[in-house]
Amino acid sequence: MIERILAKRIVPVVVLDDVESAEPLAEALLAGGLDIMEITFRTAAAEESIRRIASRFPEILVGAGTLLNDDQVKRAADAGSQFGLAPGLNPATIAAAQNAGLTFSPGVMTPSEVEQAMSLGCTLLKFFPAEAAGGVKMLKSLAGPYAHTGVKFCPTGGISPANLADYLSLPVVAAIGGSWMVDKKLVNAGNWTEITRLTKQALAAAAAV
């Protein structure tokens, strides 16, 4: 599972207002070469969107983001999510994900949170909010004491084509997350060709690292 999440090294962070956008968006990402989606539990459309993508696109690894409590974890898992993420570290949410058999990355931004996440059995951690929390410089500092443990980070928050290579060049970074190629305005306007173009551009930039 982790191998698949990390293969392309880019996780699009999606906010869907309308469940009818889910399938055309999945097609636009596939056309751009990306077979992974994080659908955030920030909208009422998230759960049904995950259900539709999981059943219609078995080739896509679909996950749920912004999982803030055990109820959302259960609903995300029942809808067919194959992985889950949260912006922060909540032991109850981690326990719910482990009970549901859901591969889960909690969010961290301090050494104490990294250690707490590791002690709860998590090894792939979302570093959020990446740019605001010190970005590449902070990740290099965290790599000092923690890289030898095998822990890896998926930074998210403020990542764009301008800085994604800086992040992906760090050995401690497994993948990056970002919303720019699935911008809400593009999704709501049904601008699938632009989403495909931005996806191809992002993958090319990642492949060049």
Name the residues annotated as catalytic: 38, 126
**Residues 82, 156, 196, 199: which binds ligand 3PG (CB under 6 A)?**
156
Other Cβ atoms less than 10 A from the Cβ of 106: the count is 25
Which range, of 90-98, 110-118, 172-180, 200-208, touches ligand 3PG by CB under 6 A? 172-180
Contact range with ligand 3PG by CB under 6 A, out of 48-56, 72-80, 93-101, 176-184: 176-184
Residue 135 Cβ vs ligand 3PG, minimum distance, rounded to whole Å: 12
Antiparallel, parallel or unpaired: β 124-127 and 103-105: unpaired
The residues pairing with 12 across neighbouring beta strands, listed in sequence order, are: 178
- We find the least distance from the C-beta atom of residue 181 to ligand 3PG, in angstroms, to be 9
Quick one: which of 51, 19, 54, 21 has its CA closest to 36?
A: 54
| Interface map 62-81 toward ligand 3PG (x if CB under 6 A) | ---x----------------
> Residue 58 Cβ, how far from ligand 3PG at the closest point, in Å?
25
| Residue 54 tokens, joined | 């999981």
Q: Is 204 exposed, middle or buried (0-12, 13-18, 19+ CB in 10 A)?
A: exposed
The residue (of 101 and 114) whose beta carbon lies closer to ligand 3PG is: 114
What single DSSP character describes residue 160?
Answer: -
Where does this chain touch ligand 3PG (CB under 6 A) — which range of 16-24, 73-81, 140-148, 157-165? Answer: 157-165
Contact indicator for 106, 90 with CB cutoff of 8 Å: yes
Binding mask 29-58 for ligand 3PG (x = CB under 6 A): ------------------------------
Whose structure tokens read 């601008």?
191
Q: Write the single-letter amino acid at 67.
A: L
